[in-house]
Structure 1
Amino acid sequence: MQRSQLSCSPFIQVANLSDEHADPINCLSFSHDGCLLASGGDDGKLVVWDPAERKPKCRVIFENSVDILLWHPIYPGSLIVGLSNGDLQQLSGFGSLRDYEQVEIRLGGKQAIHCVAYDDTTRCLAVGMGSRVYVTRECQRNVYAGIITLPEPLSPEVLQGPDRVHLNAKKVVAIDVSFHKDGKNLIVSYVSHGIVCWDTSTHGRLWEISLPVATPTIAGAVLFAPVRLLAVYNSVSGVDMYDIAYHGKQRPRKTYPLDERPHSKHRLPVQFINYGAQLFCGTTNGNVRIWDVASANVFQDLHHDSASPTRLYTAVVKQNKSYIATGSIGSGGRPQIKVWAANLGERLCASARFNIH
């Protein structure tokens, strides 16, 4: 297998964080400065870690599992938390193990939260909850107002005849929401209904991308706005790259394959790292794969020593190093969080390396 050559050293494990979660870990998120790492699990526990010290800084116990975490891009140390029962909380002030402030964000719905995004230009928060996508604005810290609900998407054009009827019966689920063009657009990736770009002012549909018949579902997605690329984990063969400048039915510009077909359809988020030069995704065999975006060659596989799926949720660049945190979502054994680091050399950017046309 050909390996890419980047101005980045291989990732090595630098920390193993354990003895906090009793059940599978659902989500991980580094703070923007990389000084804190938040984890949430099926045990209803939120843990805010000091990864440098390898110990917890704060613990919060909820009655429902913690499914979504997002560090606030405007207020450092503020964390948006989504629970399995539809509760959405904004927490801050993690001063000690049991010292924190908590405010509920009310959206008028109570279903499972699948994804969240925050735009620091418009101060808008987008939430994929159940079959709906809500958008609300933070008019002042911890105070949200002006809730709108986006229309449900139309059925994609990839299927015809009886297959279209079958697709129409599938539940609408937004697996990823990404703001674009300074918050004027919201790109929503749906599990079974393709990709739709919405106007956040008029709530109208601007464009959509229908997926190929061979890979009609999405189990994870991420937008790299500088070069208009959307990476989609297709739950069949790996990660497909789409250019959002082109709409309608399209083939992926590039595909980043996995060695074996996924064992399950777990949600496995993908993420760009190192200024868009690399792309990584968890797998259902317990490993983490990193690709070079430009060549689609494998850069490195991170082994999690687990036969269960590995959710890969977060990465951050700090002090000339790139950090990745991974966690297993399978049952059996004590859940563990691994932190990996790589030294960065010359600053890389996918826009200069990846010909998407």
Structure 2
Amino acid sequence: MASTAYVPELTFAEGHSDAINVLAFSSDGSYLASGSDDETVIIWKTLKGTFLYRITMRSKVDSLIWHPLREGTVIVGCENGTVSQVHNLSVMSSETHPINLGVKSHIYCMDYAPTTQLLAAAVGPHVYLTRETTPNTYAGIVMLPNPPVDAVATEESRERPVALKFDSTGTNLVVTHMTRGVFCCDVETQNILWHIKPPGTYPTMAYSAISQNFRRIAVHNFKDGVHLYAMGANGSPRPRLCKFEAEPRYLLALQVAFIHNGDAVVCGSSTGNVCIWQTSTGELYQTLTHPGQSTSLHDNDRP
């Protein structure tokens, strides 16, 4: 961990007119893409916070990733079930290529494996896979099986995948479910390789992230902080808790990410602050405050 604390540098303002649901940096960090309930994606230049392009969708944007193989290309998932690959951005226009998954339901999260050119998308309660066969063209659709439900658990209408991440080989996919836990699936055989069950006192999982070295997974626990697990841990391992400094105001699903090559984990909060913890100890490293900012509730972010 660097000894220097983070300080405010830029405010990206006057862009969206409604709640921002997803943020994604390009691979080199030069650009930031933001997706919003105002049915647009905005591309920003990160060095100066400059507004570059606005991409208009026809539904609220809830998932967004940069294509790892095609420069200047984003893949956008919307509430109405549409998935689009957008590239050749300019002030006047852009090219949009629809990706047909064979079903139409809320697109909650996505990931793309550059080694196998597979796109994974959480569509409603299921995960679908499709392969990019030629630039901007996808073919073949597979639905992965959901992990089993414990006898003590009950089926919930809101049960769904909340995070997806391929490993470096692109042959295994780690899926975080809201109430079923985290499981790793072999995408070829569809066998479940390992499964982390939610802790008994934390039955609901929100967004998750995997460290760059693929050794740890961080899961927002929908209550008081972030749980850290060792990758591949099976059954009901005891996680390390990175606890929020203040009690949450609301039960919101909060996004989480690893920084500093996995030495730290960062997560927002319902109080409007951002917390950074050291992964080796779980101790709070810094709180980034956002005075004057309020937190609104998004229906899909409630447990």
1:100 partner letter = S
Cα 1:34–1:227 change in 2 (3 A) is: closer
CA contact (8 A) 1:21 1:41 kept: yes
SS in 2 for 1:222: strand
2:17 aligned partner, one-letter code: A
Q: Which structure would you say has the larger RCO, counting Cα contacts within 8 Å and 6 or more residues apart? A: 1
2:301 corresponds to: none
The answer on 1:270 being equivalent to 2:256 is yes
Match of 2:80 in 1: 85
Check conservation: 1:69, 1:82, Cα contact below 8 A.
Answer: yes
In the alignment, what sits opposite 1:235? 222
Query: What is the CA-CA distance between 1:308 and the residue it aligns to?
Result: 3.1
Q: Following the alignment from structure 2 to structure 1, what is the Cα–Cα distance between the partners of residues 162 and 244?
A: 21
Is 1:152–1:172's contact at 8 Å kept on the other side of the alignment? no
Paired with 2:168 and 2:51, the residues of 1 have a C-alpha distance of 37
Q: Does 1:24 align with 2:19?
A: yes
Deviation track 1:169-216 (CA, whole Å, cap 9, x = no partner) reads 444300011112511211110001111111110112222111211011
Letter in 2 for 1:292: Q
5 Å-filtered alignment, 1:85-164, equals 85-96=80-91, 98-156=92-150, 160=152, 164=153
Within the candidate set 247, 269, 273, 1:283 is matched to 269
CA distance in structure 2 between the aligned counterparts of 1:135 and 1:186, rounded to whole angstroms: 10
Question: Once the 2 structures are TM-superposed, how far is the Cα of residue 225 of structure 1 from its aligned partner?
Answer: 5.3
Distance 1:181 1:70, change over 3 A: closer
Unmatched runs of 5 consecutive residues or more in structure 2 = 299-303
RMSD of aligned alpha carbons: 1.7
Q: Are the counterparts in 2 of residues 170 and 192 from structure 1 also a CA contact under 8 Å? A: no
SS in structure 1 of the partner of residue 58 of structure 2: coil
Partner SS for 1:226: coil
Alignment correspondent of 2:33: 38
Matched residues in 1 for 2:227 and 2:219: separation?
5
Which residue of structure 1 lines up, in the alignment, with residue 176 of structure 2?
A: 189
Are 1:54 and 2:40 an aligned pair?
Answer: no
Q: 1:299 to 1:15 in 2, by over 3 A?
A: same
What is the rounded CA distance, in whole Å, between the counterparts of 2:83 and 2:116 in structure 1?
20
Instruction: Give distance in 2, aligned partners of 1:193 and 1:170.
Output: 13
Q: Distance in 2 between matches of 1:45 and 1:247?
A: 40
TM-score w.r.t. structure 2 length?
A: 0.93
**Count of aligned pairs:** 298
Letter in 2 for 1:105: I
- Alpha-carbon distance, 1:227 to partner: 4.7
For residues 146 and 8 of structure 1, do their structure 2 counterparts lie closer, same or farther at Cα, with a shift above 3 Å needed?
A: farther
More strand by share: 1
- Assess if the C-alpha contact under 8 Å between 1:211 and 1:251 holds in 2: no
1:71 to 2:66 alignment: yes
1:177: which partner in 2? 164
Q: Tell me the distance in 2 between the aligned counterparts of 1:169 and 1:17.
A: 38
Task: Go from structure 1 to structure 2 and tell me whether the alpha carbon gap of 1:307 and 1:19 turns closer, same or farther (over 3 Å shift).
Answer: closer
CA distance in 2, matches of 1:243, 1:53: 37
Deviation at 1:307, TM superposition (A): 4.8
Secondary structure, counterpart of 1:275 in structure 2: helix
Match of 2:155 among 168, 171, 178: 168
Q: CA offsets, 1:68-98, max 9 Å, x none?
A: 11011111211011111011111111222x3
Q: Distance in 2 between matches of 1:330 and 1:205?
A: 34
Alpha-carbon contact 2:195-2:233 (below 8 Å) kept: no
Q: Which position in structure 2 is the counterpart of 1:323?
A: none
